[in-house]
């Protein structure tokens, strides 16, 4: 009789749920066969949000709202920006976050991370508690503010 390694859909759903919530699962083992090839081993499943934990030092940047688009956090080659939270207030703009090069930031030509966050009926917004990533900027790109709002952003760059 052949043994077959079977992954239960319940286990798969559990693992996905744990990954999405950034929690560590711990250690486990597996064994079985695929065809006639025996498989066995152990694993450690651990997922860490870049904004959580004391080892991930956070920084903050002020959004001054001084006349239109701005580069909030300059990109660094090989490093991503993980936004852990932000607070904004209207300063003549609807405010959108985007990412790109410095030139793209200043010309509002970056890739959008959000739609309009502020309006006459939503003059202020606070997002995140600084312990979970709310926006992520790909490696080497800058974080941009597309319309002149005032506020701050808390982030990890690594």
> Domain residues of the chain, as ranges?
9-45, 59-157
Helix (H, G, I), strand (E, B) or coil at 72: strand
Could you report the per-residue pLDDT of 115-156, keeping only the tens digit for each?
888 877 778 889 988 889 999 999 999 999 887 678 899 999
Chain mean pLDDT for the chain: 77
Could you report the per-residue pLDDT of 38-74, keeping only the tens digit for each?
777 776 666 678 998 777 889 999 988 666 788 999 9
Query: What percent of the chain is modeled with pLDDT above 90?
Result: 32
Tracing tokens 């597996």 back to the chain, one arrives at 30
pLDDT at 89 over 60: yes
Query: Burial level of 77, CB count in 10 A (0-12/13-18/19+)?
Result: exposed
Higher model confidence: residue 23 or residue 113? 113
Of the candidates 63, 68, 88, 73, which has an alpha carbon nearest to the alpha carbon of residue 147? 68
């Amino acid at each position: 009789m052949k043994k077959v390694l079977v992954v239960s859909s319940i286990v798969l759903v559990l693992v996905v749920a744990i990954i999405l919530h950034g929690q560590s699962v711990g250690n486990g083992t597996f064994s079985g066969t695929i065809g006639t090839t025996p498989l066995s081993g152990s694993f450690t499943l651990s997922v860490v949000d870049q904004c959580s934990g004391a080892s991930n030092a956070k920084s903050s940047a002020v959004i001054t709202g001084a006349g239109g688009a701005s580069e909030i956090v300059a990109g660094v080659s090989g490093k991503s920006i993980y936004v852990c939270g932000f607070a904004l207030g209207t300063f003549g703009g609807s405010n959108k976050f985007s990412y790109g090069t410095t030139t793209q930031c200043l010309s509002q030509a970056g890739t959008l991370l959000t739609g309009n966050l502020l309006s006459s009926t939503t003059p202020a917004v606070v997002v995140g508690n600084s312990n979970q990533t709310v926006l992520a900027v790909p490696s080497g790109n800058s974080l941009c503010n597309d319309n002149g709002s005032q506020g701050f952003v808390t982030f990890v760059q690594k």
